[in-house]
A and B are shown apart, each in its own frame.
Chain A
Amino acid sequence: AQSVSQHNHHVILSEAASLELGCNYSYGGTVNLFWYVQYPGQHLQLLLKYFSGDPLVKGIKGFEAEFIKSKFSFNLRKPSVQWSDTAEYFCAVRPAGTASKLTFGTGTRLQVTL
Chain B
Amino acid sequence: DTEVTQTPKHLVMGMTNKKSLKCEQHMGHRAMYWYKQKAKKPPELMFVYSYEKLSINESVPSRFSPECPNSSLLNLHLHALQPEDSALYLCASSQGLLARQNTEAFFGQGTRLTVV
List residues of chain A with CB under 8 Å of any chain B CB.
32, 34, 36, 42-46, 49, 51-52, 90, 94-107
Instruction: Tell me if A100 and B31 are in contact (CB < 8 A).
Output: yes
> Could you say which of A34, A51, A99 contacts B48, with CB atoms under 8 Å apart?
A99
Instruction: Tell me if B107 and A102 are in contact (CB < 8 A).
Output: no
Contact-residue size bin, chain B (C-beta under 8 Å from the other chain): 20 to 34
Q: How far is the CA of A22 from the CA of B106 in the complex (A)?
A: 23
> Could you say which of B40, B94, B98, B105 contacts A97, with CB atoms under 8 Å apart?
B98
9 A–B contacts, CB within 8 A, in A order: A46-B105, A94-B99, A97-B98, A97-B100, A99-B55, A100-B103, A100-B105, A103-B45, A104-B43
List residues of chain B with CB under 8 Å of any chain A CB.
4, 31, 33, 40-45, 48, 50, 55-56, 90, 92, 94, 96-100, 102-110
Instruction: Tell me if B42 and A43 are in contact (CB < 8 A).
Output: no
> Could you say which of A49, A103, A105 contacts B104, with CB atoms under 8 Å apart?
A49
On chain A, the residues within 8 Å of B99 by CB distance are 32, 94-98, 100
On chain A, the residues within 8 Å of B109 by CB distance are 42-43
Q: How far is the CA of A70 from the CA of B67 in the complex (A)?
A: 41
Q: Taking each of A44, A99, A103, A107, which has the highest tally of chain B beta carbons within 10 Å of its own beta carbon?
A: A44
Closest to B90 in A: A44
17 further A-B contacts with Cβ under 8 Å, apart from A90-B43, A96-B100, are: A42-B109, A43-B4, A43-B107, A43-B108, A43-B109, A44-B90, A44-B107, A90-B42, A97-B99, A97-B100, A99-B55, A99-B56, A100-B33, A100-B96, A100-B97, A100-B99, A106-B42
Minimal beta-carbon separation of B87 from chain A (angstroms): 14
Q: Taking each of B43, B99, B102, B110, which has the highest tally of chain A beta carbons within 10 Å of its own beta carbon?
A: B99
On chain A, the residues within 8 Å of B4 by CB distance are 43
Q: How far is the CA of A57 from the CA of B65 in the complex (A)?
A: 38
Minimal beta-carbon separation of A74 from chain B (angstroms): 15
